[in-house]
Amino acid sequence: MAPCASLLLPLFAILATLPIIQSVPTFFPGPSYDQSLAKIPKASKPKIPYKTHYFPQVLDHFTFQPKSSKIFYQKYLVNSHYWHRGAPIFVYTGNEGDIEWFAANTGFLLDIAPKFRALLVFIEHRFYGESMPFGNKSYKSAETLGYLNSQQALADFALLIRSLKHNLSSEASPVVVFGGSYGGMLAAWFRMKYPHIAIGALASSAPILQFDDITPWSSFYDAVSQDFKEASLNCYEVIKGSWAELEALSAQKEGLAELSRTFRACQDLHSLDSVWEWLWSAFVYTAMVNYPTEANFMMPLPAYPVQAMCKIIDGFPSGASKITRVFAAASLYYNYSRAEKCFKLEHGPDAHGLHGWNWQACTEMVMPMTCSEESMFPTSSFSYKEFAEDCMKTFGVKPRPHWITTEFGGKRIDLVLKRSGGNIIFSNGMQDPWSRGGLVLLFLFGILFSFQLTINGIYCGFLRHNNS
């Protein structure tokens, strides 16, 4: 019942609305409304023209069985408006979604492209968007999904970038990789593993330390809670108290019926889980996109949406129930445009099969998460045994919980980066709950990193460095 996610999709569990979530609620607490990538509004299309290309990509870079060399077509977008040959190439290392969505929401690259006369390239991650190695059978089973993981994705990027540079006769162009969330992890790891291809990386909101026991398991939800607490102590307390109120109501006769009405459910609710998950998603994703301006990445939202939510909660007369308040707050997330007449709190049977991240979470991306007493969510623990059992049941696969830190490191990463790769900007807003699993805390604790002063300055720095 606990809405705290032991595995959270890095940025958009919102995309992973699958029935499997229902069967493993503790570990796949995806939202219970019918929202999927396929429904991304047209406004998410890139605002400047990108030319779409498809690269013949190798299915398996790390084995050489006859079937390993199967080719699939990987989508990538190119804007050469500002570019001249030999100038830098800025590559967005796509994450778990349609690449056009990322292209539409990565303004920084567009902002700096003219200054550097840079070529912009957005590469879609295998098994997302249109880049399906087995077409519409890509998600069929562990046999096909087996090829979906970060190392294969990094190798895809390497092969594509090398080919692109060759075809453009621009082998000397410095390449800088960019990414946010899981894409940020990929950007950082790409620079670490392929320093001969990328001279630097901007890894935004990239929780590369959210593995093993490097980051305290409760830190993510503590950070979400802290955001709300900072906006308003009362707001935090209302949300924290709402779960028990919901549970008590649902235990009553006709409780679910009342909840269905209160939450304006399009269809009668069958369990409290969907309400919890609906609220949980609203609070967690709003904390993730608590941007200082109006934006429309996850959902259309006003500037500082956490503060806006708390204003709603605090604005009720003193006698109002916590349930009424949290519903109103969550409605800001789901219905800022006020277009929705009712909410689809439970999955329909035909929810879209975009559960790629759940697969990744069940194989390599094992990020243990708990909710502490300090969080505004019900407390929860993490049991690796249960998690592994759920993954086996859902996907027929056993997680490798220590693989990411074996492959990419994590412990004492500050020293490792200092002595090896470097040239990676880890950029996090401190209100971003993912900052706790990123490298920002290292700054706070004074364990050096000399970069991240002014991003622009550093870009100039390492581009000059490469060209010198």
- Check binding of 117 to its own copies (CB under 8 A): no
- Check binding of 268 to its own copies (CB under 8 A): no
- Which span sits near its own copies by CB under 8 A: 8-16, 34-42, 244-252, 413-421? 413-421
Considering only 84, 115, 140, 411, the residue that binds its own copies (CB under 8 A) is: 411
Kindly state the smallest distance separating residue 443's Cβ from its own copies, in Å.
20
Using the minimum distance from each CB to its own copies, give the nearer residue, 32 or 423: 423
- Check binding of 186 to its own copies (CB under 8 A): no
Distance, in Å, from the CA atom of 160 to the CA atom of 158, rounded to the nearest integer, reads 6
Query: Closest by alpha carbon to 204, among 362, 28, 372, 425?
Result: 425
- Which span sits near its own copies by CB under 8 A: 139-147, 216-224, 245-253, 324-332? 139-147
Query: Closest by alpha carbon to 190, among 201, 174, 204?
Result: 201
- Check binding of 393 to its own copies (CB under 8 A): no
Whose tokens are 């307390």? That residue is: 237
Long-range contact set of residues 143-149: C-beta below 8 Å, sequence gap at least 24 = 145/356, 145/359, 145/395, 147/59, 147/60, 148/356, 148/359, 148/360, 149/360, 149/363, 149/364
Kindly state the smallest distance separating residue 250's Cβ from its own copies, in Å.
38
Q: How far is CA 137 from CA 50, 127, 142, 427, in A?
A: 28, 10, 11, 37
Whose tokens are 């390449």? That residue is: 175
- Which span sits near its own copies by CB under 8 A: 1-9, 92-100, 245-253, 411-419? 411-419
Considering only 146, 300, 302, 353, the residue that binds its own copies (CB under 8 A) is: 146
Considering only 12, 55, 102, 147, the residue that binds its own copies (CB under 8 A) is: 147
3-state secondary structure of 170: coil
Residue 116: phi and psi, rounded to 5, are -95, 0
Considering only 63, 169, 234, 267, the residue that binds its own copies (CB under 8 A) is: 63
- Check binding of 385 to its own copies (CB under 8 A): no
Considering only 31, 88, 409, 437, the residue that binds its own copies (CB under 8 A) is: 409
Long-range contact set of residues 192-199: C-beta below 8 Å, sequence gap at least 24 = 192/408, 192/409, 192/417, 192/420, 192/421, 192/424, 193/154, 193/408, 194/154, 194/157, 194/158, 195/421, 197/158, 197/161, 197/162, 198/91, 198/161, 199/174, 199/175, 199/423, 199/462, 199/463, 199/465, 199/466
Residue window 189-228: x/- pattern of binding to its own copies, with contact defined by CB under 8 A: ---xxxxxx-x-----------------------------
- Which span sits near its own copies by CB under 8 A: 81-89, 147-155, 270-278, 316-324? 147-155
Site for its own copies in 349-368 (CB under 8 A): 359, 363-364
Which residues have CB under 8 Å from 298's CB, separation 6+? 11, 12, 14, 285, 288, 289
Kindly state the smallest distance separating residue 150's Cβ from its own copies, in Å.
10
Query: Closest by alpha carbon to 378, among 187, 224, 242, 263?
Result: 242
Residue window 20-59: x/- pattern of binding to its own copies, with contact defined by CB under 8 A: --------------------------------------x-
Using the minimum distance from each CB to its own copies, give the nearer residue, 310 or 404: 404
Contacting residues toward its own copies, per CB under 8 A = 58, 60-66, 68-69, 142-143, 145-149, 151-152, 155, 158-159, 162, 192-197, 199, 359, 363-364, 396-398, 400, 402-403, 406-413, 416, 419-423, 465
